[in-house]
Amino acid sequence: MKKVRTRFAPSPTGYMHIGNLRTALYEYLIAKHANGDFLLRIEDTDQEREVEGAVDIIYDVIRQTGLQYDEGPDKPGDCGPYIQSERLPMYKEYADKLVDLGGAHYCFCKEEDVAADKESHSLDYRYVDPCHMISIEEARKRIAAGEKYTVRQTIPHTGTTSFEDEVYGHIEVENAQLDEGVLLKSDGYPTYNFANIIDDHLMHISHVVRGNEYLSSTPKYNLIYQAFGWEIPTYVHVPPVMKDEFHKLSKRNGDASFQDLREKGILSEAIINYIALLGWAPVGEQEIFSLEELVEQFSIDRISKSGSIFDFDKLKWMNGVYLRNMSLEDFHQLALPYYKDIKSQVDLMEISKALQPRVELLMDIPEMIDFIDAPYPFDANLFTHKKMKTNPENSLEALNWVIDEIDSVKDFSDDDAFSQFFVDLAAKHGVKNGRVMWPVRVALTFKAFTPGGAVEIAHIIGKEETMKRLHDAVKQLKEFLNQ
């Protein structure tokens, strides 16, 4: 049985778009599920769009996600070079050979003339190249004389070209609908439509995985494979990742990139887990997968035909699951950079202990803990909570209960004993726990959302600061009620 070999072939044109990363993930999973090889190939033939530093971004993303390749520019095998710009003589050689085989021809039309001709017709217009009439011998004389040229694909005017896709099934296109595109540009660089065919064949790629926008172009690629007499690879065209019901995520429109999500404090493991489910359905109800589990369970037959909408809230939830499932020490190390603005002398590990069950995005941490150095400005409205059955009047009463008896709490770091203090105090006065704990929580922060309740907050800021804020809140509430 032929060994499964897939390749991730990104262009160094900027940040790693989520759709591109998902394609890389599927290629990796297909190869590794079959104990095959996963290759990295840098497709840098579009010189105009190349962005400085983008190659380093590609390497960095692969390192962070764990999608380690078996062959690549810095890990050569027998099929290199793995950077297209280092393979230019090869493309010229195969372009000339394809002309000899009748699958392409030399074209001397000026690019601006071709563009103007297409612009003057409908979108489905097929350019009729007058250079079809030039013999190979005459064309090569003109080339030898220094005339500028391209190599353009030659496509039959009649008949159909078909192929089987692993996701979309049988695809058949009339040859008359296929445009005779340029394969080798006048500067000697190949177009994507030619270079990927040559590279995939020479690198023994068994499965070509790419977005379904290439379904309509694949018959053109197959005509080139057939002209050379080469084996056509297995095609796996995947559905798009959608921004909403009508729009795809797009790198050019500045939509989600791997780097953007990492800067928000989303773990690479959560990103990989989430995007695996954007277009692939596992067996059963499990949603949280390690990369190893994805390798074990992934199968092409469960890839969807329809696009999946990128749901940032779902990704946040999943990231929260990963944060909660790690050790407190590991979470603390991730959270430490977000504590840099804290000026008070507090136990940072205690902050992490309070945050870990509640954080979904690491970037939210500064806002969650900005009460530590000082509470927000007094806001009497926060004491009104319908569910807790609190208002400014009974909150003032509850705070006085707490102040009168809080000295009985010997150790603020004993969360169980501290919690029991509030429970006992509420029972003593015949009210529910929230009627006591909510006013304390507000008095210590004046925030509606906090990393933990009254016990955790008091634990973090310490007994002295807790008492000061309770007394300040009582004073401010009295002034408010006496207005």
Catalytic residue IDs: 251
Burial status of residue 382 (CB atoms within 10 A of its CB: 0-12, 13-18, 19 or more): buried
Residue carrying structure tokens 């394969």: 183
CB distance 277 to 286 below 8 Å:
no
Longest dimension (CA), the chain: 104
Of 251, 258, 256, 255, give the one whose Cα is nearest residue 272.
258
Cβ–Cβ under 8 Å, residues 299 and 283: no
Pick the closest to residue 457 from 384, 354, 338, 370 (CA basis): 354
DSSP 47: T
Quick one: DSSP state of residue 190? B
Angle at 278 between CA 276 and CA 279, to 5 degrees: 100
Count other Cβ atoms within 10 Å, centred on residue 256: 23
Asked if the bond preceding 282 is cis, omega within 30° of 0, the reply is no
Q: Is the peptide bond before 130 cis (omega within 30 degrees of 0)?
A: no
| Residue 357 · residue 445 · CB < 8 Å | no
What order of strands is seen across the sheet that includes strand 104-107? Answer: 104-107, 150-153, 182-184
Q: Tell me if 277 sits within 8 A of 26, measured CB to CB.
A: no
For residue 97, what are its two tokens?
């050979």
Give residue for tokens 């190949």: 190
Is 8 in contact with 67 (CB distance < 8 Å)? yes
Backbone dihedral angles phi then psi of residue 172, each to the nearest 5 degrees: -135, 130
Q: Which residues contact 341 (CB under 8 A, 6 or more apart)?
A: 366
Report d(CA 124, CA 344) in Å as an integer.
Answer: 67
Helix 268-276 / helix 312-325 crossing angle, nearest 10 deg: 130
The answer to whether the CB of 180 falls within 8 A of the CB of 149 is no
In the chain, % helix, strand, coil (3-state, to 5) comes to: 50, 10, 40
DSSP per-residue string spanning 387-432: TTTB-HHHHHHHHHHHHHHGGG---TT-HHHHHHHHHHHHHHTT--
